[in-house]
């Protein structure tokens, strides 16, 4: 539990030297939530689909929101669809909650989130835990941080996660790759459109 929160803190700590965009971060957070819910036995995987189970109370309002968002009827929802649906605006939702909890502070006169002048984690047990997991190359957090661009690579000698976690991590990597491709395609289309207007 706590993988999504730890990923948010790790990404924000890395933002000064390695900006992490909200799109990639949101997809990573949605994937981290699934991993947390699998760990809490609230979700199981049937192939690539998320099968919800009766949920005990979770001591995390963000994960409670994730549970409420689960599709509860067959044929259930593929992991990739969950990442895009749940991930929409998720980084901002985490930022808001962490600020309300006093775990993140936004400097005065800052209006651009996830920039060097933007919000940053404050010293707290939550930040210490996230830093420890990052510093010790905890496999799941390391893989998620790499997928969203908060670190360069995952060390090769890390233990393999179980099948469910591996499926979620693969879906996050695919979604982030697709997001990058969409951005590049739009940039090319925008440039082509601009060239039409600039042509004599």
pLDDT in tens, 60-79: 999 999 999 999 998 999 99
Residues above pLDDT 90, as percent of the chain: 56
| Residue reference for tokens 């819910």 | 37
Query: Hey, where are the domains in the chain?
Result: 3-198
Nearest 5°: phi and psi at 59?
-85, 50
* Alpha-carbon distances of 142 from 6, 50, 147, rounded to whole Å: 11, 23, 9
DSSP assigned state of 67 = H
For the cut 80, the answer to whether the pLDDT of residue 42 exceeds it is yes
For the cut 70, the answer to whether the pLDDT of residue 198 exceeds it is no
Average pLDDT score over the chain? 85
Mean pLDDT of the 17-44 span: 90
pLDDT of residue 76: 94
Lookup: tokens for 177: 């790759």
Sign of the CA dihedral running 147, 175, 73, 46: negative
For the cut 70, the answer to whether the pLDDT of residue 111 exceeds it is no
Lowest mean pLDDT among 58-67, 95-104, 110-119, 151-160: 110-119
Mean pLDDT of the 1-19 span: 80
For the cut 50, the answer to whether the pLDDT of residue 100 exceeds it is yes
For the cut 80, the answer to whether the pLDDT of residue 117 exceeds it is no
* Alpha-carbon distances of 9 from 25, 41, 63, 152, 188, rounded to whole Å: 11, 24, 16, 17, 33
Mean pLDDT of the 95-105 span: 92
Residue range 124-177, pLDDT digits in tens: 999 999 999 988 888 999 999 999 988 877 767 677 778 899 999 999 999 999
pLDDT of residue 97: 94
Residues 15, 84: Cα–Cα separation, whole Å: 23
- Evaluate whether 9 touches 130 at the Cβ level (below 8 Å): yes
Question: What is the model's pTM?
Answer: 0.85
Q: Which residues of 27-64 are buried (b: 16+ CB within 10 A; e: fewer)?
A: bbbbbbbbbbbbebebbebeebbbbbeebeebebebbe
Mean pLDDT of the 86-104 span: 93
Q: Half-sphere exposure of residue 56, counting CA atoms within 13 Å on the CB side?
A: 5
């Amino acid at each position: 539990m706590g993988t999504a929160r730890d990923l948010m803190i790790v990404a924000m700590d890395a933002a000064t030297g390695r900006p992490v965009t909200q799109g990639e971060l949101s997809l990573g957070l949605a994937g981290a939530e699934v991993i947390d819910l699998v760990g809490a036995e609230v979700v199981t995987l049937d192939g690539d689909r998320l099968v919800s189970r009766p949920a005990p109370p979770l001591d995390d309002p963000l994960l409670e929101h994730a549970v409420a968002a689960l599709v509860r009827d067959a044929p259930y929802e593929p992991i990739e669809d969950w990442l895009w649906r749940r991930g929409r605006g998720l980084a901002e939702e985490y930022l808001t909650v962490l600020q309300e909890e006093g775990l993140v502070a936004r400097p005065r006169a800052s209006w651009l989130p996830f920039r060097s002048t933007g919000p940053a984690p404050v010293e707290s047990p939550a930040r210490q835990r996230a830093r420890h997991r990052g510093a010790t190359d905890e496999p799941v957090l390391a893989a998620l941080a790499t997928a969203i661009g908060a670190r360069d690579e995952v060390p090769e000698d890390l233990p393999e996660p179980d099948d469910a976690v591996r499926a979620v991590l693969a879906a996050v990597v695919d979604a982030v790759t697709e997001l990058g491709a969409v951005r590049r395609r739009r940039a090319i289309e925008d440039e082509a459109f601009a060239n039409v207007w600039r042509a004599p």
